[in-house]
């Protein structure tokens, strides 16, 4: 052995070939001609590949210990070229030496060597191997590359380079292992809990300044990781994201959490998106005792995820989604009333914070509803209605501990949720009477907020063509649209009863007109038009009656609704004499009684008389309207105008005002 060590010519050929690739001056780089000879020898004698690799690794280690980094680079380049050239069964022996060498470089204390080793690993990761690889471990590389992603080097440029290298290294590990069943399972929690936080830290702390910025590289890597996740891997990939956002308090900022889940939802396979929704819902439940800002942040993320989610992929968990969100509303009402978000009464919350959360939940309910087909939206509306305490019909289901006020707040919150679902599309014809009757009973509530919500819901359910977007005023050129609906008579009764409410304000009269207008446009056939005329004439009589305890404002509001309705109706291709009569009344009001028109009576600062006296010339006259319709297509129904409209009251319409909310059990 001593002789072989002293006499170079007696050394094994593979060692001589390896030695020949190193120049006298490392600045000259790898001797390419000799490298070609070494490669040819390795391909001709693959059984020597493991020895070649071992000797190259030995040379690299020796040069590294001597701090001769130029030769280190040359040795590593030689290993890379051999890897690219050799796709034979012996490549596994070469790979083991190669990975051992990279581990050595990554353990050194020079950032340049870390970057060098990472670049080499990325090249290796892009090689498609022809032979199976057994017992190969990448645990060290996952750990080391993740650590590099957290680099806090004092030099910012060096820090960024190290972090980018770490991110690219993790990307290489994913590429090398994710599709190979013989490799380490990169989706195991122990690996995901290192990889995901390492990526999120860089996504959070850096901006997209260039293609080489940590944030840019991170997003590319994160998207690739998620895009490769199969059904069984989604939860393991998402859980560390939730943990990271919890640990660093990133739900409250919202923007970063929303950004994360936008990347997630757009990157995963669309059929798996419901798994992300389930994870978020579970996390929301787990944070029921967290501050309102945290809960609102999670709900905001849910809302954004719902918009991106593939249509119909909520699947069998539809009611679970809405049940969770409604449960959050109820809990929030409890917290708002008590002022604390824990059972011990130590952690304070404010009404403002809880209302912000409630608004976010209601918005999210609408986001989910928009992704559902009509039949599922109908089921959701029935489900929500079943949760609302309705006097005399439904008990207070799971009412909070806030008693009377708590039940009222729950009613408002759930009706707002119902409104969000109803905005999706026309649903009234798909809903049974068991839904409509409880809903209409809310028009009798003493609480004006509840009545206004119900009017908005009814309008939304009927308004297929979004005609309600028009302003409450005297408008022209409205086109006829004919649709039929089952529940018109019930609606008429409740419109009449709603106009008898003393606590109605400007918004209520605007909502009442909008509902009448939508009924006119959406259900415009001869019979419906005559029924609506009878109803509005009855409202006019209601405003004139001394038996009703209505204020001057209320009476002017009802007269304004009647005027706006008749003006709209006169333009729906009705006989010209009707249009003439309506125009004459409106012009006379504009001249002598502007307080009977919506522009004045329902303005921000209405100018109302002290006592209301309405001359006959200012009224819409039933006999003139009947005469105007005679001789037209409305003739068959016009005689009914001679019979005054009287609503038939049922049990639900005569509820005592003292039961307008159900007390908590």
Within-domain flag for 260: no
Of residues 272 and 118, more confidently modeled: 118
Q: Is 183:231 a contact under the CB 8 Å cutoff? A: no
- pLDDT band of residue 426 (cuts 50, 70, 90) is low
Q: What is the residue-wise DSSP string for 201-243?
A: HHHHH----STTSHHHHHHHHHHHHHHT--GGGHHHHHHHHHH
Stretch 117-146: mean pLDDT? 84
How far apart, in Å, do the first and last CA atoms of the chain sit?
Answer: 95
Q: How far is CA 431 from CA 41, 345, 456, 479, 487, in A?
A: 81, 43, 17, 27, 10
Of 174, 183, 177, the C-alpha closest to 146 is 174
**How far apart are the C-alpha atoms of 49 and 215, rounded to whole Å?**
40
pLDDT at position 580 is 93
**How far apart are the C-alpha atoms of 583 and 561, rounded to whole Å?**
15
Burial environment of residue 630 by CB neighbours within 10 A (0 to 12, 13 to 18, 19 or more): middle
Length of the chain: 665
Stretch 218-240: mean pLDDT? 92
Within-domain flag for 225: no
**How far apart are the C-alpha atoms of 522 and 653, rounded to whole Å?**
26
Reading the block at residue 108, the tokens are: 């050194």
Within-domain flag for 543: yes
Q: Which of 56-70, 423-437, 506-520 has the lowest mean pLDDT?
A: 423-437
| Residue 485 pLDDT exceeds 50 | no
Stretch 443-453: mean pLDDT? 87
pLDDT at position 242 is 96
pLDDT at position 247 is 92
| Residue 397 pLDDT exceeds 50 | no
Mean pLDDT of the chain: 83
Q: Which of 323-337, 393-407, 446-460, 576-590 has the lowest mean pLDDT?
A: 393-407
Within-domain flag for 122: no
Please identify which residue in the block is written with the tokens 């380490």. 184
- pLDDT band of residue 180 (cuts 50, 70, 90) is low
- The contacts of residue 611 (CB under 8 Å, 6+ apart) are 552
| Residue 660 pLDDT exceeds 60 | no
Stretch 421-449: mean pLDDT? 76
Within-domain flag for 238: no
Q: Is 111:165 a contact under the CB 8 Å cutoff? A: no
- Rounded to two decimals, the pTM is 0.80
Within-domain flag for 214: no
| Residue 658 pLDDT exceeds 50 | no
- pLDDT band of residue 311 (cuts 50, 70, 90) is low
Q: What is the residue-wise DSSP string for 52-115?
A: HHHHHHHHHHHHHHTT-HHHHHHHHHHHHHHHHH--STTHHHHHHHHHHHHHHHHTSS-HHHHH
Region for 249 from its dihedrals, namely left if φ exceeds 0, alpha if ψ lies in -120 to 50, beta otherwise: left
pLDDT at position 396 is 46
**How far apart are the C-alpha atoms of 382 and 372, rounded to whole Å?**
14
Of residues 253 and 339, more confidently modeled: 339
Reading the block at residue 36, the tokens are: 């070609």
pLDDT at position 122 is 93
**How far apart are the C-alpha atoms of 151 and 166, rounded to whole Å?**
9
**How far apart are the C-alpha atoms of 67 and 494, rounded to whole Å?**
90
**How far apart are the C-alpha atoms of 424 and 190, rounded to whole Å?**
43
Of residues 264 and 176, more confidently modeled: 264
Stretch 258-287: mean pLDDT? 91
Stretch 533-541: mean pLDDT? 94
pLDDT by residue (tens digit) across 186-201? 889 999 999 999 999 9
pLDDT at position 344 is 79
Stretch 606-627: mean pLDDT? 90
| Residue 492 pLDDT exceeds 60 | yes
Write b or e for each residue in 89-99: b if 16 or more Cβ atoms lie within 10 A of its Cβ, otherwise e. Answer: ebbbbbbbbbb
Reading the block at residue 137, the tokens are: 């471990």
pLDDT at position 427 is 58
- pLDDT band of residue 657 (cuts 50, 70, 90) is very low
Domain of 520 in residue numbering reads as 489-642
Within-domain flag for 593: yes
Reading the block at residue 303, the tokens are: 């809302």
* Rounded to 5°, angle at Cα 34 from 31 and 39: 120
Highest mean pLDDT among 152-156, 237-241, 574-578, 638-642: 237-241
Stretch 426-439: mean pLDDT? 71
Of 78, 11, 12, 87, the C-alpha closest to 43 is 87
- pLDDT band of residue 343 (cuts 50, 70, 90) is confident
Sign of the four-CA dihedral 482, 488, 491, 497: positive
pLDDT at position 89 is 57
Within-domain flag for 590: yes
Q: How far is CA 95 from CA 19, 99, 307, in A?
A: 20, 6, 46
- pLDDT band of residue 261 (cuts 50, 70, 90) is very high
Q: What percent of the chain shows pLDDT beyond 70?
A: 84
pLDDT at position 130 is 67
Q: What percent of the chain shows pLDDT beyond 90?
A: 40
pLDDT at position 655 is 39
Stretch 238-246: mean pLDDT? 95
Number of domains in the chain: 1
Write b or e for each residue in 387-403: b if 16 or more Cβ atoms lie within 10 A of its Cβ, otherwise e. Answer: bbbbbebeebeebbebe
**How far apart are the C-alpha atoms of 643 and 329, rounded to whole Å?**
47
pLDDT by residue (tens digit) across 539-553? 999 999 877 788 999
- pLDDT band of residue 487 (cuts 50, 70, 90) is low
């Amino acid at each position: 052995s001593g002789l072989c060590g002293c006499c170079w010519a007696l050394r094994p050929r593979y060692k001589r070939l390896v030695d020949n690739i190193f120049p006298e001056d490392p600045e000259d780089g790898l001797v390419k001609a000799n490298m070609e000879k070494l490669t040819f020898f390795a391909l001709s004698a693959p059984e020597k590949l493991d020895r070649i690799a071992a000797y190259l690794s030995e040379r690299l280690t020796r040069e590294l210990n001597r701090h001769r980094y130029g030769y280190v680079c040359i040795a590593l380049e030689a290993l890379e070229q051999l890897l690219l050239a050799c796709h034979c069964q012996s490549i596994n022996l070469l790979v083991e030496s190669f990975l051992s060498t990279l581990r050595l470089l990554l353990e050194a204390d020079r950032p340049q060597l870390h970057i060098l080793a990472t670049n080499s690993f990325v090249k290796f990761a892009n090689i498609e191997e022809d032979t199976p690889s057994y017992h190969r471990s990448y645990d060290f590389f996952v750990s080391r590359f993740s650590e590099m992603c957290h680099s806090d080097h004092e030099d910012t440029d060096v820090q960024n380079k190290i972090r980018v290298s770490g991110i690219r290294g993790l990307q290489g590990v994913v590429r090398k292992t994710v599709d190979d069943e013989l490799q380490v399972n990169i989706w195991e929690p122990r690996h995901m809990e290192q990889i995901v936080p390492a990526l999120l830290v860089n996504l959070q702390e850096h901006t997209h300044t260039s293609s080489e910025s940590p944030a840019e590289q991170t997003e590319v890597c994160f998207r690739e990781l998620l895009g490769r996740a199969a059904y069984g891997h989604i939860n393991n990939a998402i859980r560390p994201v939730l943990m990271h956002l919890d640990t660093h308090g990133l739900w409250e900022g919202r923007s970063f959490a929303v950004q994360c889940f936008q990347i997630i939802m757009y990157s995963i396979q669309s059929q798996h998106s419901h798994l992300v929704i389930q994870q978020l819902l579970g996390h929301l439940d787990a944070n029921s005792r967290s501050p309102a800002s945290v809960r609102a942040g999670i709900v905001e993320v849910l809302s954004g995820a719902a918009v991106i989610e593939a249509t119909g992929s909520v699947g069998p968990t539809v009611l679970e989604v809405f049940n969770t969100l409604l449960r959050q509303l109820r809990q929030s009402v409890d917290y708002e009333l008590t002022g604390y978000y824990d059972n011990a009464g130590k952690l304070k919350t404010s009404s403002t914070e809880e209302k912000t959360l409630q608004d976010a939940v209601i918005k999210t309910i609408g986001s989910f509803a928009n992704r559902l087909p009509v039949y599922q939206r109908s089921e959701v509306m029935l489900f929500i209605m079943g949760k609302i305490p309705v006097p005399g019909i439904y008990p207070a289901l799971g009412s909070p501990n806030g008693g009377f006020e708590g039940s009222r707040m729950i009613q408002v919150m759930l009706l707002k949720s119902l409104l969000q679902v109803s905005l999706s599309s026309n649903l009234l014809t798909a809903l049974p009477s068991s839904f409509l009757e409880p809903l209409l009973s809310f028009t009798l509530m003493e609480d004006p907020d509840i009545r206004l919500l119900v009017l908005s819901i009814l309008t939304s359910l009927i308004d297929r063509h979004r005609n309600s977007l028009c302003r409450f005023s005297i408008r022209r050129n409205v086109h006829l649209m004919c649709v039929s609906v089952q529940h018109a008579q019930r609606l008429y009764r409740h419109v009449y009863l709603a106009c008898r409410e003393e606590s109605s304000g400007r918004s209520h009269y605007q909502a009442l007109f909008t509902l009448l207008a939508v009924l006119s446009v959406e259900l415009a056939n001869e019979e419906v038009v005559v029924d609506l005329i009878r109803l509005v004439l009855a409202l006019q009589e209601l405003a004139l009656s001394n038996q009703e305890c209505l204020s001057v404002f209320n009476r002017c509001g009802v007269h304004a609704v009647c005027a706006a309705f008749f003006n709209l109706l006169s333009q729906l291709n009705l006989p010209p004499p009707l249009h003439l009569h309506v125009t004459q009344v409106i012009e006379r009001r504009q001249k002598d009684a502007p307080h009977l028109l919506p522009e004045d009576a329902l303005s921000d600062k209405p100018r109302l008389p002290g006592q209301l006296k309405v001359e006959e010339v200012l009224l819409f006259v039933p006999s003139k309207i009947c005469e105007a319709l005679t001789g037209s297509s409305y003739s068959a129904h016009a005689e009914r105008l001679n019979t005054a409209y009287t609503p038939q009251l049922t049990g639900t319409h005569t509820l005592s005002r003292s039961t307008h909310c159900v007390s908590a059990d």
